[in-house]
Copies of this chain bind each other. A is one copy, B any other.
Amino acid sequence: MSSNLPSYLTISTEINSDLSKAIETLNPDKIVVLVDENTKKYCFPHLHVSVDAQIEIQSGEQYKTLETCIKIWTQLTAIGCSRKSLLINLGGGVIGDMGGFAASTYKRGMPFINIPTTLLSQVDASIGGKLGVDFEGLKNHIGVFQNPVCVIINTAFLKTLPERELKSGFAEIIKHALIRDAEQWEYLNRHSFEKINWNEIIPKSISIKSKVVQEDPFEADARKILNYGHTIGHALESHFLNSDTPLLHGEAIALGMILENEIAATVGLLSQGESAEINEFIRSVYNLNLQLPNYEMLRSHLLQDKKNDAQGIRFSLLKKIGACAHDVLVEETVLKNILK
């Protein structure tokens, strides 16, 4: 199984020895760690490496912006970082994506190591090299593709997470099963959320994503299936971002998967039976009683999806459990009907 993991990724029980080894190989002239108020308190004390400086940003998707990125660049400059310095991103997806983007563009690229501390970032952001920030309310609108020097995953960090955060990450585990691995889907169905063994499920889930990314690193084609649930999910996430009830990424994706399954069933791609089976399972995990925004508002977000072209909004939709189509054009009448 682990042979399917990318070479730069380590699932580690000895985070400090793995980190020290990586640093020794790299031999950086300065080491800076990027944290938020949570990882500073709960995760940083577990790292026993000597760092030259710490950069702290506020936690939360609403700070994944160019403004925060500018603060990171300013601090890297003030610290005197060179292209031979190292940035360690200690945190969830926001820290990894934004810290990675800041490092990749600082003096045209300084090396960075990601230590994902949330379930979501361990199974999703840790692989695939997608970096960036939100821009004008659009998710990851400005960014680059770039892999970290290494990613070190330690499931011990998950113990510090509230259940809502864990469930958010679980949505990507569900997604990976549905698009590529019916066996993994069966496993998830046999175990209740509370009884899942993370050390068993995380490597399997990463390995699914990793295989897809290796087939198509720059998302020209097959990688788009990883966007299943994300076309509508991102639109929902963007819409609720500045509301009183922002959705966690995985919650938005969970609802996105449900709605995209309804679309797939309506256009005859997915059977009604499998759509119902999947949606029932997802609803059993998440509390998704919220009022959808009106269609026009949602559509304005959908039109910004990166997979679109001039012909319209393109979806990645399930064909069956374990298989996913991509670049599916869906008629407005179908969308309107389901997203009303």
Contacts and interface: CB of A to CB of B under 8 A. Distances in A.
Nearest to A30: B310
Nearest to A146: B144
Contacts of A30: 310
A8 interface: no
A130 interface: yes
A73 to B, nearest CB: 6
A143 B83 CA distance: 12
B141 A107 contact: yes
Nearest to A132: B108
Nearest to A66: B70
Interface stretch (A18-26, A177-185, A300-308): A300-308
A127 to B, nearest CB: 15
Chain A contact residues: helix, strand, loop or mixed: mixed
A70 to B, nearest CB: 7
Contacts of A106: 141-142
Interface stretch (A74-82, A165-173, A252-260): A74-82
Contacts of A132: 105, 108
A283 interface: no
A82 B308 contact: yes
A143 B108 contact: yes
A136 interface: yes
A306 B76 CA distance: 13
A105 B309 contact: no
Contacts of A108: 130-132, 140, 143-145, 306
A73 B66 CA distance: 12
Contact of A105 (B29, B83, B144): B144
Contact of A309 (B29, B104, B308, B309): B29
A82 B310 contact: yes
A70 B310 CA distance: 23
Nearest to A105: B142
Contacts of A83: 306
Interface string A91-134: 00000000000001111110000000000000000000011100
Interface of A: 29-30, 66, 70, 73-74, 77, 80, 82-84, 104-109, 130-132, 135-136, 138, 140-145, 218, 303-304, 306, 308-310
17 contacts: A30-B310, A73-B141, A73-B142, A77-B135, A77-B136, A77-B141, A77-B304, A82-B306, A82-B310, A84-B309, A84-B310, A105-B132, A106-B141, A107-B143, A108-B130, A108-B144, A109-B218
